[in-house]
């Protein structure tokens, strides 16, 4: 990661310098936040700190308005969107089931093309997923708090219209932030509104779905299937009923793996270095007062 | 299928008629070709016969130039292309591996976005796959006999350039017709030219790949993995080494399932009925003399 971030600095027009001469600090050691206070003690010329996280919880206690902070919010959305599409296609083509076979079996599978796709959430993941769906000619509905139309969606509705949208949904992609309002938003009532052959893909947070309700629906065939990159609890413990359900695919939070994320972060940091060198507004600024 | 084909006739501007009054015949019983001679004995007004197959082998012995014949060639390519993308994304995201787990494991996976994709074959599947890949920003190379540029490909080369292309390929999609020339085109030599982390997706015919060479390469880690919708032999027998390889995903020829194919055929037949009613050239004509 250090090498990749160094390359991004050079590519963006910066040069690598010791901390006492540095104007910008790219944090390339995500697991080690404890070193921060010591490191910046002599950083007299420091103006800007770039963090690698989409959510900056690990650094929240270090935020200080002496400096300009940026983070990685939105950076990983292309990777997560790609994972969401991969999981949806796997479900529609029964790849999770075939992967478990050791014998030739009957051909099943349905087309994603022309399907009715509902994306719950209107943030970066939705914005990156819609272009990937575009060549499939899906009928896309984005459900978001504001209802402000998202570019590329056939329609955008507010969250209170979710019950109207679910009965006409073949694929539900959960891609919104977890808040008090959205926790448990996909419960038994919501699941029952979906067609019996609908698939749910969750690439947001496990807490959006009431796990027990999902287990019941999957077990009783009231849902086509679920592909979950996030779970509640997470990590999903051994022996949990979700592991054994034939219509469920669990992935261990791979939406943005270190391998994928580093590519995206490198490009992003290069751009922010370029902007910093040119005195332009930086991408993904952190509001120190609000803490995100 | 009868109901779907009847709907296509009506939607295309035709009407359902008994065979003695019919000008067109839509064959909606793919498994039953024996009924054909009896059925058409009284078909005095018959001009056109639409077959449901992409390859018309089941009807070859009935071909007769008294009538105009059309078939389903190209009709199913969108479904096969979608399956190819699903299998590629599954491989890149390790979904085949995660589907087999019963325990939370480490996040792995790579981005398809920006990858170097080589499509071996420049027919309908390639033409349908390239638009699906377009939003991923892949670098696409089509390898085909003619070398005639395929719309949407970054470059098109002739088959003799395959050895030049393979070393710079992250994903190889096999999507060409099986002929004496192309049988075994992916052998140990070809596989060895691919990077060690490359994936092969085969949605064409099992005979394109030398199975034993593939098994060796997968077992020795000389390839990222293989997703095979077609195998040689097919069906793949129980106990075949491919079933046990952790970097291999086998699907039982699901490129175009009956469920998917019917949707596509309905739309296609509707269009051909429309053309027939308007006296226009029909799609997917069969050359009776050549037999395909």
Q: pLDDT 10s per residue in chain A (292 long)?
A: 999 999 999 999 999 999 999 999 999 998 889 999 999 998 999 999 999 987 677 788 899 999 999 998 888 899 999 999 999 999 999 999 999 999 999 999 999 999 999 999 998 999 999 999 999 999 999 999 999 999 999 999 999 999 999 999 999 999 988 888 899 999 999 999 999 999 999 999 999 999 999 999 999 999 999 999 999 999 999 999 999 999 999 999 998 787 778 888 999 999 999 999 999 999 999 888 877 6
**Which of A90, A129, A241 to mutate: most B Cβ within 10 Å?**
A90
Contact between B89 and A92 using a beta-carbon 8 Å cutoff? no
Q: Assign A236 to helix, strand or coil.
A: coil
> Count of alpha carbons within 13 Å of B243, Cβ hemisphere only?
16
Q: Which helix (H) or strand (E) holds B225?
A: strand B225-228
**Which of B30, B91, B100, B113 to mutate: most A Cβ within 10 Å?**
B113
How many other C-beta atoms are found inside a 10 Å radius of the C-beta of residue A35?
10
- ipTM metric: 0.84
Of the candidates B94, B96, B205, B208, the residue annotated as catalytic is B205
pLDDT band at B53 (very low <50, low <70, confident <90, very high): confident
Rounded to an integer, what distance in angstroms lies between the CA atom of residue A30 and that of residue A39?
A: 15
**pLDDT above 70 for B55:** no
Span B135-184, pLDDT tens digits: 999 999 999 999 999 999 999 999 999 999 999 999 999 998 888 889 99
Rounded to an integer, what distance in angstroms lies between the CA atom of residue B24 and that of residue B45?
A: 8
Among partner residues B86, B110, B234, which is closest to A95 by beta-carbon distance? B86
Q: Residue A94 — φ and ψ, nearest 5°?
A: 60, 30
Contact A197, A170 (CB under 8 A): yes
Rounded to an integer, what distance in angstroms lies between the CA atom of residue B191 and that of residue B120?
A: 13
Q: Assign A272 to helix, strand or coil.
A: helix
Q: Give the pair of three-digit tokens for residue B241.
A: 């080494």
Q: Residue A61 — φ and ψ, nearest 5°?
A: -75, -10
CATH 3.40.50.720 location in chain A: 77-250
Rounded to an integer, what distance in angstroms lies between the CA atom of residue B125 and that of residue B74?
A: 8
Residue A185's closest CA among A158, A159, A209?
A209
Q: Distances from the Cα of A64 to the Cαs of A21, A38, A59, A290, B205, in angstroms?
A: 19, 14, 10, 12, 62
A21: annotated active-site residue: no
Q: What is the pLDDT of residue B56?
A: 76
Q: Distances from the Cα of A151 to the Cαs of A134, B75, B286, in angstroms?
A: 12, 31, 44
Cα B138 to chain centroid, rounded: 21
Q: Give the pair of three-digit tokens for residue A209.
A: 């779905």
Architecture of the A77-250 domain: 3-Layer(aba) Sandwich (3.40)
Contact between B110 and A257 using a beta-carbon 8 Å cutoff? yes
Q: Measure A109 CA to nearest chain B CA, in Å.
A: 6
A144: annotated active-site residue: no
Residue A176's closest CA among A58, A75, A77?
A77
Which tops the pLDDT comparison, B99 or B72?
Answer: B99
Span B211-227, pLDDT tens digits: 999 999 999 999 999 99
Q: Give the pair of three-digit tokens for residue B15.
A: 């009407």
Q: What is the pLDDT of residue B177?
A: 82
Among partner residues B100, B107, B134, which is closest to A257 by beta-carbon distance? B107
Rounded to an integer, what distance in angstroms lies between the CA atom of residue A175 and that of residue A203?
A: 6
Contact between A93 and B254 using a beta-carbon 8 Å cutoff? yes
Q: What is the pLDDT of residue B287?
A: 86
Among partner residues A113, A235, A251, which is closest to B95 by beta-carbon distance? A251
Instruction: Read off the DSSP letter of residue A280.
Output: P
Residue B71's closest CA among B27, B33, B10?
B27
Most confidently modeled range among A45-59, A174-188, B52-66, B89-103:
B89-103
Rounded to an integer, what distance in angstroms lies between the CA atom of residue B235 and that of residue B256?
A: 16
B61: annotated active-site residue: no
Residue B110 with chain A: CB contacts under 8 Å: 257, 259-260
Write down the mean pLDDT value for chain B: 94
Q: Which residue has the tokens 């037999």?
A: B291
Cα B85 to chain centroid, rounded: 12
3-state secondary structure A13-27: CCCCCCCCCCCEEEC
Span B242-259, pLDDT tens digits: 999 999 999 999 987 877
Contact between A89 and B82 using a beta-carbon 8 Å cutoff? yes
Q: Give the pair of three-digit tokens for residue B129.
A: 């796959």
Q: What is the pLDDT of residue A257?
A: 82
């Amino acid at each position: 990661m250090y090498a990749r971030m160094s390359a991004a600095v050079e590519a963006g027009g910066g040069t690598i310098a010791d901390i006492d001469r540095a104007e910008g600090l790219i944090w390339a050691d995500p697991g080690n936040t404890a070193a921060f206070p010591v490191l910046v003690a002599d950083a007299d010329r420091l103006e800007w700190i770039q963090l690698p996280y989409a959510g900056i919880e690990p650094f929240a206690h270090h935020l200080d308005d002496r400096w300009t902070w940026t983070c990685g919010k939105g950076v990983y959305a292309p990777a997560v969107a790609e994972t969401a599409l991969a999981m949806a296609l796997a479900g529609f083509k029964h790849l999770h089931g075939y992967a478990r076979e050791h014998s030739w079996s009957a051909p099943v599978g349905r087309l994603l093309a022309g399907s009715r796709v509902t994306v719950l959430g209107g943030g970066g993941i939705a914005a990156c997923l819609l272009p990937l769906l575009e060549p499939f000619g899906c009928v896309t509905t984005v459900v978001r708090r504001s209802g402000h139309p998202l570019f590329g969606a056939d329609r955008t509705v507010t969250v209170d219209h979710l019950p109207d949208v679910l009965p006409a949904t073949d694929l539900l992609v959960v891609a919104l932030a977890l808040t008090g309002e959205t926790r448990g938003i996909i419960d038994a009532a919501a699941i029952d509104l979906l067609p019996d052959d609908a698939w749910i893909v969750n690439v947001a947070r496990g807490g959006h779905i009431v796990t027990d309700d999902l287990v019941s629906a999957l077990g009783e065939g009231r849902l086509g299937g679920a592909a979950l990159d996030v779970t509640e609890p997470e990590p999903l413990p051994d022996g949990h009923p979700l592991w054994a359900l034939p219509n469920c695919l669990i992935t261990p939070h791979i939406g943005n793996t270190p391998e994928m994320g580093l590519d995206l972060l490198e490009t992003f940091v290069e751009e922010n270095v370029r902007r910093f060198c040119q005195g332009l507004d930086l991408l993904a600024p952190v509001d120190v007062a609000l803490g995100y």
